[in-house]
Amino acid sequence: MNSLKTVLLLGGLSGLLLFLGGLVGGQKGMTIALVMAVGMNFFSYFFSEKMALSASGAIRVSPEENAHIWHRIAPMTERLCQRMGIPMPKLWVLPEASPNAFATGRNPSHSSVAVSAGLLDVMDDREVEAVIAHELGHIKHRDILISSVAATIAAAITYVGQMMMFAGMGGHRHDDEEDSGSGGLIGGLLMMILAPMAAMLIQMAISRTREFSADAAAAKYTGSPDGLINALSKLNMWSQRIPMEASPAMSHMYIFPVGTGQWMQRLFSTHPATEQRIAKLQSYRGLSPAQIPVN
């Protein structure tokens, strides 16, 4: 169900982009919009991992670097990867006191998982394992690519919306269009505002859908939903005590959202409400791992 919902939402986002491109420049505008979206997706596909790790200040974890962290998280990560049937990702630590984590990379063979120092401090091994399983779920489902595609299409829609405004404000009008000039300007302004807003809402709906799937993966591959339930409860508590300073553009990547207040999370959130996520995980209690739906 989540996969179908994601496909439909991505289709709606792409359709909105092509529709706006058609309004701006007809068939030629649709072609330009499509080429622009493909180009942005191509760039995002190959460079999003490096950009995310650089922006977050992530530090590499390996047997030679930060070995004490490696010996704690590498064995559980390797076990989870074997269960999920994916390669071992590169591991990183974020120099942040606030607990959080994210995954990035264009595919399972080129991926990274980063956890904050604060997360390792406040969580026990079972909870850390559940957080890592959640991030590996994103990698297994290629959610990083899906999110990158959604973000770049949304950005293209915003750009086309701005083009519509300039087209409505400037240029020449034929005499028989004089009477409708102000209407065209108003329509252009409305599209400039509404189209990016619609794109943002669809993008965030995609993100929320993928979070539920990653939560289910954590419950399935750790064998119980309880580890992630406890981890989410701690994330909710500690994020208020020690807010994380991170780019809002990266908020959708983290297991717990950053950069917005509680009421903003409700209205325009990249993540489902924490209580919704916990309630969904609680519904998996009593199910065997094979019965937990992951898609």
Q: What are the pLDDT digits (tens) for 60-86?
A: 999 999 999 999 999 999 999 999 999
Residue 40 CB partners (closer than 8 Å, separation 6+): 152, 153, 155, 156
Helix (H, G, I), strand (E, B) or coil at 57: coil
CA distance linking residue 187 with residue 229, whole number of Å: 47
Q: Which residue has the higher pLDDT, 188 or 226?
A: 226
In the predicted model, what is the mean pLDDT of the chain?
79
Q: Mean pLDDT, to the nearest integer, of 153-177?
A: 57
Q: How confident is the model at residue 106 (pLDDT cuts 50, 70, 90)?
A: confident
Q: Give the catalytic positions in this structure.
A: 135
Per-residue pLDDT, 258: 72
Q: How confident is the model at residue 27 (pLDDT cuts 50, 70, 90)?
A: low
User: Residue 244 pLDDT more than 70?
Assistant: yes
186 burial level (CB within 10 Å; 0-12, 13-18, 19+):
exposed
User: Residue 51 pLDDT more than 90?
Assistant: no
Tokens found for residue 283: 């519904």
Per-residue pLDDT, 224: 97
| Range scoring the smallest mean pLDDT among 9-18, 142-151, 233-242 | 9-18
Q: Mean pLDDT, to the nearest integer, of 33-60?
A: 78
User: Residue 214 pLDDT more than 60?
Assistant: yes
Angle 205-209-213 (CA atoms, 0-180°, nearest 5)?
Answer: 165
Q: Mean pLDDT, to the nearest integer, of 282-287?
A: 96
